[in-house]
Structure 1
Amino acid sequence: MEEKALRSIKPYLDKLTLGVTRILEASPGVTEVMFVEKEPAERHAIVSWEQKNACVLPEDLKNFYLMTDGFCMTWSVKFDENPMPLGAMTINSISNLSRLGAPPVYNLPSAPTLADLEDTDEEEGNEDQPEKPHLDSRSLIFELDPCGGNGKVCLVYKNTKPVVSPDSEIWFLDRALYWHFLTKTFTAYYRLLITHLGLPQWQYAFTSYGISPQAKQWFNMYKPITLNTEQRSEEAEPFINKLDPSKVFRSKNKTPVLKKKLPAQPLSSQKGQTGAAPRNPVQPGSSSKRREPQT
């Protein structure tokens, strides 16, 4: 029965995971590729969430929930002949898409909140790095992925007023409560999640300090399907080819230059030319008589 169920969801699984399950199953040492099939979210549940939080879900995220209420895919590697969990790809369901930094119902007046622990150094946004979110009432933040305790991937609304066309972004909040921009749309983030195979701490590859040495070893063994070329271009200047192709790759149809052959010289003259020069050459105006050796 389980094999028939897997066969029935195989086309659906390949479409949802962009074929990454076949890549993982073909990778050396990978075992127990597990995918949790979930039913689509009810439309009234999405409407209820939007009314409760006074914001509208992005259209691509709403379509995702109408196809599957969340996403969960894990895979392990063989370590001493035993499976060890390694990769995890998670997107919370609509019911677990909870607001981050919301004040609790019962709280003491002097109790600290996440907004009190937030970095107070405000940085102005630019085209490459938008303005950072805030954990207070200036932003609406919802947790998409708990990242296994290594941080949180969040859906961020910077405009807290109810809007018809939502302006949302995807950000990563690390364990030190620093924000790092990931993507502008949920679809772009979903592709990053799949192409990085859910490797541990893969979100830190989009930070200024990068992934840990231990996680880098797993990256070397199971490389992501795609590379972050935009981040690499920021860290290092792009290589500019200054070579002139017209000078390097010259045409082969040029007129050949014919070399004239010199007439062959007699053997005696060649020996005279190749012999060593005399130690005392005859100077101009001096006697040309040679001194006979004494016997």
Structure 2
Amino acid sequence: MEFVVDKVSEDSFYENLLIGLPKVLEKLPSVSDLYLERFSPVQHNNICAWEQKHGVLLPEDLRSFYASTNGLLYTYNFHYRDSGSEEDKVVGRIEVNGLNELAPVYGYEIKPDPGVNMEDDHYELKLGTDSKIFELVNLNDLGRVILVYINHRYLPSIWLHNASMKFNFLADDFTTYLRMCVHHLGIPFWQFSFSGEGIPEWSEMVFRLLAPAILPLHKKIDEIKKHDDEFSDILINKIDSNIFRTTRLTPNTMPPNEPNLTPRQIKKKQLKPKFPPKLQKKPLHHSKKN
């Protein structure tokens, strides 16, 4: 049975989307002013128009997300002293750009051999002439969270693009990234715990006050998955994708005999991604009709 947003209350939808995070934050000391901005769903034809304009197909989970809500903004205030001063306030934030703000990002270096390689203990992303990246979240002057298409034949993945123009891998898909946002309580700049430079010291202080069990911050999501019992109190629940409005299935752009490669699978196979022969894709209006 398909789960459609119209059949349940908005409160239930956002509670499931945030995996119960508001109830957890309400119990934490010095947390106040919890705020959720509600957005209307994006119409199917507008999603198709965006895809046609940019020449890519959104992954199914992100397409379903926009068909349920045009972005996400959940914030709260945390005062790490009892003074109540604005100088002692930190704003927690879970945010996803609306569809119109999912804008292309330019200015990255073009490589002749695009793909994802393992270098030492981190992933190295190389983009080619057919690559496209889009901004999911703006992190002020420190960088942005981006949706990366190595080329149109491969499903996109989520990366951190910092101010020094370096790419740091975050998640294989949007659902995993959203789950990571909740796991890290939306503490500002948590994404940089997956980069070589690390998070700012004041962000680390907030982690130690609000959620010390999350530290050490260098743990990757795969390592956390292996110890669900150990982290059972830190919102490591899975997001049920059925809470999204059901829309048409996104055509799989990979050939039938080729799996959807992700950076983690590439590491496991110790292979560079090999591009399959160019596919004859059906136009978007054909998919919509079917």
Q: Name the TM tier (shorter chain).
A: 0.5 to 0.7
1:11 Cα shift? 1.9
1:59 Cα shift? 0.5
CA distance in 2, matches of 1:221, 1:188: 25
Partner of 1:93: 98
Out of 108, 115, 126, the position equivalent to 2:108 is 115
Seen in structure 2, the aligned counterparts of structure 1 residues 65 and 225 have a Cα distance that, compared at 3 Å, is farther
Question: Larger Cα Rg: Structure 1 or Structure 2?
Answer: 1
8 Å Cα contact 2:124/2:167 also seen in 1: no
Out of 127, 132, 143, the position equivalent to 2:125 is 132
CA distance in 2, matches of 1:23, 1:225: 15
Partner of 1:253: none
Seen in structure 2, the aligned counterparts of structure 1 residues 146 and 30 have a Cα distance that, compared at 3 Å, is same
Partner of 2:10: 9
CA distance in 2, matches of 1:59, 1:224: 34
CA distance in 1, matches of 2:181, 2:156: 18
1:191 aligns with 2:179: yes
CA distance in 1, matches of 2:73, 2:184: 15
Q: SS at 1:187's partner residue? A: helix
1:10 Cα shift? 2.8
Can you give the 5+ residue segments of structure 2 that lack an aligned partner in the other structure? 1-8, 224-290
Partner of 1:259: none
8 Å Cα contact 2:180/2:221 also seen in 1: no
1:8-27 equivalent positions in 2, closer than 5 A: 9-27=10-28
1:133 Cα shift? 4.0
Partner of 2:165: 177
Identity %: 29
Seen in structure 2, the aligned counterparts of structure 1 residues 119 and 97 have a Cα distance that, compared at 3 Å, is same
1:89 alignment partner AA: I
2:137 alignment partner AA: D
1:226 Cα shift? 5.3
Partner of 1:243: none
Out of 147, 150, 153, the position equivalent to 1:158 is 150
Give the aligned CA root-mean-square deviation in angstroms. 3.0
CA distance in 2, matches of 1:70, 1:224: 29
1:185 Cα shift? 0.8
Seen in structure 2, the aligned counterparts of structure 1 residues 88 and 148 have a Cα distance that, compared at 3 Å, is farther
1:149 Cα shift? 3.3
Can you give the 5+ residue segments of structure 1 that lack an aligned partner in the other structure? 1-7, 102-113, 235-295
1:40 aligns with 2:33: no
After the TM superposition, which parts of structure 1 deviate over 6 Å for at least 4 consecutive aligned residues?
Answer: none
1:203 aligns with 2:206: no
Partner of 1:81: 84
CA distance in 2, matches of 1:48, 1:124: 29
8 Å Cα contact 1:196/1:224 also seen in 2: no
Q: SS at 1:44's partner residue? A: helix
Deviation string, structure 1 residues 168-220 (Cα, Å, up to 9, x no partner): 11000111111100111111111001111111110111012321222211111
1:147 alignment partner AA: L
8 Å Cα contact 1:195/1:225 also seen in 2: no
1:137-286 equivalent positions in 2, closer than 5 A: 137-159=129-151, 161=152, 163=153, 166-223=154-211, 230-231=219-220
What is the aligned length?
208
Q: Which has the higher contact order (CA 8 A, sep 6+)?
A: 2
1:77 Cα shift? 2.0
